[in-house]
């Protein structure tokens, strides 16, 4: 019997069919949903900040797992911030070393987003895409 037929039967015979709601499970599911919505809204705020600081889509996807590519594209259009195409211009070796040292100093911070905020505060002339590339440059780490 499909749900529509059960619903019809319930409306015809209220004394035969009853519904049961497990309040404990319902409260748990509501709490999960609220937590998800809160995390999603936080990640949307982070997305706006990252777009303002010229983060790549790859970086955004790595830091904001709840955000879809469609949402990134939509917000880019709304904010009039297109995707930067082509190779990222890397700063001098001296700047890269300073960035890596600053990144190392913040390693006790477990939230990568906050670490990038600290980094952009220290290096405001560079985009998040540049800073992200420096940090993930395999030549410096020999990976």
Domain identity same for 95 and 138: yes
List Cβ neighbours of 135 (8 Å cut-off, separation of 6 or more).
99, 100, 103
Q: Could you read off the pLDDT of 33-80 as tens digits, one per residue?
A: 999 999 999 999 999 999 999 999 999 999 999 999 999 999 999 999
54, 128 contact by CB (below 8 A): yes
Tell me, yes or no, whether 91 and 80 share the same domain. no
pLDDT of residue 127: 95
75 & 94 share domain: no
The per-residue pLDDT for 103 is: 95
* Both structure tokens of 66: 């709840």
Q: Is residue 17 part of a domain?
A: no
Establish if 51 belongs to a structural domain: yes
**DSSP 8-state class, residue 24:** H
Select the more confidently predicted residue: 134 or 140.
134
My answer on whether 117 and 70 are in the same domain is: no
Domain total for the chain? 2
pTM for the model stands at 0.77
- Quote the CA–CA distance of 103 and 98 in Å, as a whole number: 9
CB 51 within 8 A of CB 75: yes
Query: What pLDDT score was predicted for residue 143?
Result: 43
98 in the same domain as 45: no
Determine the straight-line distance between the first and last CA of the chain, rounded to whole angstroms: 58
Residue range of the domain that includes 97? 87-143
pLDDT tens digits, one per residue of 80-98: 999 888 888 889 999 999 9
37 and 65 assigned to the same domain: yes
- Residue in the block written with tokens 């390693």: 107
**Structural domain includes residue 123:** yes
């Amino acid at each position: 019997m499909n749900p529509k037929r059960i619903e019809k039967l319930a409306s015809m015979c209220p004394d035969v069919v009853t519904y049961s709601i497990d309040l404990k499970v319902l409260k748990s599911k509501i709490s999960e949903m609220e937590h998800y919505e809160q995390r999603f809204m936080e990640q949307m705020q982070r997305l706006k900040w990252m777009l303002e600081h010229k983060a790549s889509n790859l970086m955004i996807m790595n830091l904001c797992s709840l955000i879809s590519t469609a949402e990134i594209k939509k917000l880019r259009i709304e904010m009039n911030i297109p995707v930067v195409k082509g190779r990222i211009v890397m700063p001098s070796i001296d700047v890269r070393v300073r960035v890596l040292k600053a990144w190392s100093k913040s390693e006790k911070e477990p939230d990568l987003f906050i670490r990038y905020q600290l980094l952009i505060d220290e290096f405001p002339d560079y985009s998040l895409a540049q800073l992200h590339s420096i940090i993930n440059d395999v030549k410096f780490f020999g990976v």
